Amino acid sequence: MRFSIASLALLFAFVLPAALAADTTRGPDGLLLVPPLARVSDPSGYLAPADRAALENKLADFEATHGSQIAIVLVKSTRPEPIEDFAHRVGEAWKIGRRGIGDGVLIVVAVQDRAARIDVARRLEGAIPDVIASRVIREKMGPRFAAKDYAGGLAATLDALFGLIVAEGLPPGAVSGQVERGDGGRGAAQGEQAIRGLVPFVIGGVLLGIVLRRVFGVLGALLAAGGAVAVVAYLLSSLLLGAIAGVLVFVLASFGGPMMAVTQVLGGRGGGFPGGFGGGGGGGGGFSSGGGGDFSGGGASGSW
């Protein structure tokens, strides 16, 4: 069966990314996967690129000056999991905040649920008590989010949190570096989860690459690989994971091989790729976790 170039282009540009995006964000239990570490994680693209960059710069400048780490996660929905439970999983996995101080704050927004959560690490629970966190959500996020001004709501929220943290009088100084690789199995677990998240992308990319290869030869496999790089890098906020997906798609689409090989390579049954990815990896312009966040339930949730 022959495919026109136009129909292949439509399949490549629309069908594959939509299918992969639907499959890669949730685990077998239906719960959202913890996203790769980033100052601003927005896999669904609710923020314009310029707004996302502005928020990342705002967070980086505050960390450089005052040391405390704040991260933002925007998702479509956390259902069926309560936003509090999802935020706790992310906070425990990312461990933002300086080691020995534990001054991290995590902001989670579930847009379709119209729900938000400010999760506060233990050291900052006095500076940002639950009642104040709730007020910030109600007054800073709510009105702007209701108008779909997510960037404006987040910027106003950060300004409020910055003032509260500075008033606490914590010692200055940015996070000195990435969490050590030997700090338990947390980094390896995050790496394994990130690698497993590639499985739908690679399988879909290989299937498309095989079809394109029959029409365009090796160039077809290369096109599928390039698409995998772009889609993974955008949705998972990690150019490294995108490059890995692209290489695997090109090799498997070019030279064939049973699809079970894909899941065995990426599924982590043998421990994943050697070394995995550390807890300080991921997107966000080189953002690394300080390893000090102890998220034990402080903070507040709200809706708009």
CATH code, domain carrying 156: 3.10.310.50
- Amino acid 254: pLDDT: 78
* Judgement on whether residues 233 and 84 belong to the same structural domain of the protein: no
- Amino acid 178: pLDDT: 43
CA separation (Å) from 139 to 158, 184, 302?
A: 12, 40, 11
Look at phi and psi of residue 173 and say left if phi exceeds 0, alpha if psi is from -120 to 50, else beta.
left
Cα(205)–Cα(211) distance, integer angstroms: 10
* Judgement on whether residues 170 and 291 belong to the same structural domain of the protein: yes
List the domain range (segments joined by +) for residue 139.
Answer: 40-179+284-303
- Amino acid 129: pLDDT: 94
CA separation (Å) from 14 to 20, 42, 66, 206, 230?
A: 10, 20, 44, 16, 13
Pairing between strand 104-110 and 69-75?
parallel
Give the E-state strand segments of 76-216 in sequence order.
104-110, 115-120
In a domain, 46, yes or no: yes
- Amino acid 71: pLDDT: 97
Cα(202)–Cα(35) distance, integer angstroms: 18
User: Would you write out the chain's pLDDT as a tens digit for each of its 304 residues?
Assistant: 444 554 544 545 554 555 444 445 778 888 999 999 999 999 999 999 999 999 999 999 999 999 899 999 999 999 999 999 999 999 999 999 988 888 999 999 999 999 999 999 988 999 999 999 999 999 999 999 999 999 999 999 999 999 999 998 887 765 544 443 334 444 444 555 566 667 778 788 888 878 888 888 878 788 888 888 888 777 766 677 778 888 888 888 777 544 444 444 444 444 433 333 333 333 444 677 767 767 877 899 999 9
* Judgement on whether residues 239 and 120 belong to the same structural domain of the protein: no
- Amino acid 282: pLDDT: 37
- Amino acid 26: pLDDT: 79
In a domain, 93, yes or no: yes
Number of domain units in the chain:
2
Closest of 235, 227, 253, 226 to residue 197, by C-alpha: 235
* Judgement on whether residues 22 and 76 belong to the same structural domain of the protein: no
In a domain, 271, yes or no: no
Q: Which H/E stretch holds residue 171? A: none
